[in-house]
Structure 1
């Protein structure tokens, strides 16, 4: 009788594992590089933009269930998700099967929103560096999330003030004085774009997607204002998922606190921080990669990244990190290729696979991957 019970339990466990849904979550900085407001909307309506066709083909090849698109301009006057679905994703690109995302999330971002202050210290106001997040027009470098699963709730932290983060890395000049005036510092927003907590329901189980796109840690001066902001933008999610460490956080609707204890999550985006190379403040991404709340058992890699680093040489030859884990292809004289894009599941989630869409020469999609200087990164989890 005991043996029969053991067999039945084993069968039940096996059946449960086999029936668990595999969910693929991805992030992709599509680097649209559009310089004027309305360009993206026009390309979406047109349905013939080659770059969008290539982006659609990558999504059709990888087929993520939930995907964060970075550098997708936010324009409330255009139904961008509908046009993207209808004119590009619903059309089989280069022989690929169409894909459909019935759910989406988009919202305003800080890029291009004028602060009315001289944030970059050039003595003038009204420039792209004086916006709450660098941008030439409101919504530039925005974010869009597409999903096959329904969105149940959302929180936005776009207006959270940097000064409200305890022990924030406030930028200082070489003489030790503050780069920002006290008045400006008290108003400055932490998010260069935004921070979103999106709760999806997957077969009756909640999953939080924590989406962001921190500022690059460059394009500043000795005060390292962008490097420090990048560090604290990443730290925000670290504190958010560590219980009481997020006590100071308040969302744009005035609700306090971080993520509930035990909630499953995935942090995704272009973090602009490499674990070992590049210009990020030391341990910026380590705040998450070394956290017990993060499952880091599967590091996304690709054959294309390793091959590219070898063939391009330059600064790549001096890098300490594994080139196979690179996700961005940058100038090899000044930067080299880096690991900047991440999909980081919580430690309670079972990861069954991960990867980077960066095919090597001779592999299908090799030229396609170069549509952006970033590569799509994906992780498969069991739910």
Structure 2
């Protein structure tokens, strides 16, 4: 895992050379939030869909500084200007070079009238995607150990054609306390009491062999508890994850069930007495201190009312007594609510199929001891010039997901 401040000297030069001059007479898009109020912190999550299909391909694409998709992602971030940002689907690079390139060549460089944004602190850690398990985790009767194919990806601890595909990263204006970070990548799925193990349709016997079930891990990527020193009397814990989509499986619904359990993990982590099975990758047992403020963030791949996730999968977290659901909204979501799935105006990702509509799958959920201010989903209406960043359908300029943000205060 890595957390480090980026050097500031080059940052200032790059911003001065590349940031365009803003036209003070230019209209302000209604999709752009106001500045963060004094005393508040803006948390955001964005499934940026920057992952590539080959190891090193994302790093190579970022290196030139002109990758159109990354530019659209960066401008989206610049329009919202979160203080703490979780990025999903960002291939893990153990060297940290990819995250550094994204910060310096894209985020710090202003695009199309948006000012560059600096994130002095970054964090990344290994994920389960694309890591060979040595077991038959997709139930096809064989074990594939050579990376690069979907068959290999199905037997990996998390679906990925190479180690680190679909990884995660955090960028922050505030110090990230990596020394106190907890990761739960290695937690066995069988350790969770009542874990929803898939069964053979119509038969009821286990879908996975005893050896495969013992090898399976709970997290398809990882679960992170990353304290952020926002300058208050207590750190705010960023609880970050990206559960597997409840799709791309068979009648046994192994991904649907895993998605449920990955979300349930956070509910258990926040509940004294339900956290007895939890042990982090350093061997430390237990959940989050009941007095610790937190923000749950990530692409959780579950809509409260629609989609393929197990009924109640996200409801357990949204209804948790320590969690506030701020119900962020957007102009674009409202405009599509008539033909959309999920809560009107609150959705931020298109469904996997081709139906018109959207699902609510990306979340920023503060703890009840934090004040909730402005919040939103960056989804411009069709008549907003910034719709060029989200598009009106496939192919999407940046991502098929939308950036979700919430301002919190103590």
Give the TM-score of the pair, scaled to structure 2.
Answer: 0.84
Aligned to 2:101: 83
Aligned to 1:303: 331
Q: Could you tell me whether the CA contact under 8 Å between 1:278 and 1:335 is conserved in 2? A: no
- d(CA) in 1 for partners of 2:169 and 2:101? 13
Alpha-carbon distance, 1:336 to partner:
4.2
- d(CA) in 1 for partners of 2:77 and 2:333? 19
Instruction: Provide, for residues 214-244 of structure 1, a one-character-per-residue CA deviation record: whole Å limited to 9, x for no partner.
Output: 0001111121110110000000000001122
* CA distance 1:292–1:193, change in 2 (3 Å): same
Aligned to 1:106: 124
Alpha-carbon distance, 1:143 to partner:
0.2
Alpha-carbon distance, 1:77 to partner:
3.7
Aligned to 1:93: 111
Aligned to 1:169: 196
Query: Is the counterpart of residue 375 in structure 1 residue 375 in structure 2?
Result: no
Aligned to 2:82: 64
Q: Within 5 Å, which residues of 2 pair with 1:144-183?
A: 144-152=169-177, 153-174=180-201, 175-183=203-211
Q: Could you tell me whether the CA contact under 8 Å between 2:131 and 2:156 is conserved in 1? A: yes
Secondary structure at the counterpart of residue 323 of structure 1 = coil
Aligned to 1:131: 156
Secondary structure at the counterpart of residue 58 of structure 2 = helix
Aligned to 1:246: 275
Structure 2: give runs of 5+ residues left out of the alignment. 1-35, 145-151, 392-397
- d(CA) in 2 for partners of 1:212 and 1:41? 22
- d(CA) in 2 for partners of 1:289 and 1:192? 21
Aligned to 2:386: 365
Q: Could you tell me whether the CA contact under 8 Å between 1:149 and 1:201 is conserved in 2? A: yes
Secondary structure at the counterpart of residue 220 of structure 1 = coil
Secondary structure at the counterpart of residue 163 of structure 1 = helix
Instruction: Provide, for residues 121-170 of structure 1, a one-character-per-residue CA deviation record: whole Å limited to 9, x for no partner.
Output: 22232211010000101000000000111112211000000000011111
Instruction: Provide, for residues 280-300 of structure 1, a one-character-per-residue CA deviation record: whole Å limited to 9, x for no partner.
Output: 01100001111111012x201
Alpha-carbon distance, 1:366 to partner:
0.8
* CA distance 1:130–1:332, change in 2 (3 Å): closer
- d(CA) in 2 for partners of 1:161 and 1:185? 9
Whose helix fraction is larger, Structure 1's or Structure 2's? 1
Aligned to 1:352: 373
Alpha-carbon distance, 1:364 to partner:
3.6
Structure 1: give runs of 5+ residues left out of the alignment. 1-17
Instruction: Provide, for residues 52-74 of structure 1, a one-character-per-residue CA deviation record: whole Å limited to 9, x for no partner.
Output: 11111011110000000000000
Instruction: Provide, for residues 29-82 of structure 1, a one-character-per-residue CA deviation record: whole Å limited to 9, x for no partner.
Output: 011241111011112221110111111101111000000000000011451222
Secondary structure at the counterpart of residue 61 of structure 1 = helix
Q: Could you tell me whether the CA contact under 8 Å between 1:132 and 1:188 is conserved in 2? A: yes
Give the TM-score of the pair, scaled to structure 1.
Answer: 0.90
Alpha-carbon distance, 1:89 to partner:
1.1
Match among 198, 207, 210 for residue 226 of structure 2: 198
Secondary structure at the counterpart of residue 278 of structure 1 = coil
Aligned to 1:341: 362
Query: Is the counterpart of residue 42 in structure 1 residue 60 in structure 2?
Result: yes
Alpha-carbon distance, 1:20 to partner:
5.9
* CA distance 1:359–1:138, change in 2 (3 Å): same
* CA distance 1:309–1:367, change in 2 (3 Å): farther
- d(CA) in 2 for partners of 1:78 and 1:262? 33
- d(CA) in 2 for partners of 1:220 and 1:358? 30
Secondary structure at the counterpart of residue 209 of structure 1 = strand
RMSD, aligned α-carbons: 1.6
Query: Is the counterpart of residue 187 in structure 1 residue 215 in structure 2?
Result: yes
Match among 248, 256, 275 for residue 219 of structure 1: 248
Q: Could you tell me whether the CA contact under 8 Å between 1:27 and 1:343 is conserved in 2? A: yes
* CA distance 1:330–1:347, change in 2 (3 Å): same
Q: Could you tell me whether the CA contact under 8 Å between 2:51 and 2:90 is conserved in 1? A: no
Alpha-carbon distance, 1:86 to partner:
1.3
